[in-house]
Chain A
Amino acid sequence: QSALTQPASVSGSPGQSITISCTGTSSDVGGYNYVSWYQQHPGTAPKLMIYEVTNRPSGVSNRFSGSKSGNTASLTISGLQAEDEADYYCSSYTGSSTLVVFGGGTKLTVL
């Protein structure tokens, strides 16, 4: 099972919006509404930001939103803040014996 494709890096200025893409296939992203997004700051465990494509766990800012079109899922962060600078990973259900596949990760830099 190949990893999902994410851009290596994205950047934006405070207050702006950015979108991170996550491209898979019809066997993972496109086939199921089970895409999650994680935020990871250096030296810490990942934090769930979005689950099942569009849902935000309790306590996650509404500046974070998720969507999906075909085989590509997206994470949008609006009103960028310095604290958003982190690595972001998408994951998807696959339906194969390897049930979950992650993207390679995207480093977000807040300029």
Chain B
Amino acid sequence: QVQLVQSGAEVKKPGASVKVSCRASGYTFTGYDINWVRQATGQGLEWMGWMNPNSGNTGYAQKFQGRVTMTRNASINTAYMELSSLRSEDTAVYYCARARGAVTNSDYWGQGTQVTVSS
């Protein structure tokens, strides 16, 4: 069955960077784009960007351009999202999700990774 398993919770200081991993199984990793979405506590969903695991092509939300980098290691079916220059407002749960067809169709989601930014 399709599964996306994310790395564990992180605590970072302001100004630092965080790198979250997302290991895929149960399907052909290079056949589907990966979206990254975050959710602050009690808040709504926010789309951060997408990556094509086959080509490595990426597209980032304007809000995160210059601060986010999405990469992959196809040999181990794993996608990564790195966010730099962290600030307290980046405290959130970060999700990876498989995009089925259109980028808006996130049909399988990881369990989420809590990132806390605190001094």
Q: Which residues of A contact B (CB under 8 A)?
A: 1, 3, 34-36, 38, 45-48, 51-52, 57, 89, 91-93, 96-105
Contact = CB atoms under 8 A, between A and B. Distances in A.
Interface of B: 35, 37, 44-47, 50, 59-63, 65, 95, 97, 100-107, 109-112
A96 B103 CA distance: 13
B32 to A, nearest CB: 13
A35 B61 CA distance: 18
B45 A98 contact: no
A46 B106 contact: yes
Given A98-B62, A99-B59, A34 B45 contact: no
Contacts of A48: 105-107
A98 B104 contact: no
A48 B103 CA distance: 13
Given A89-B45, A91-B45, A96 B105 contact: no
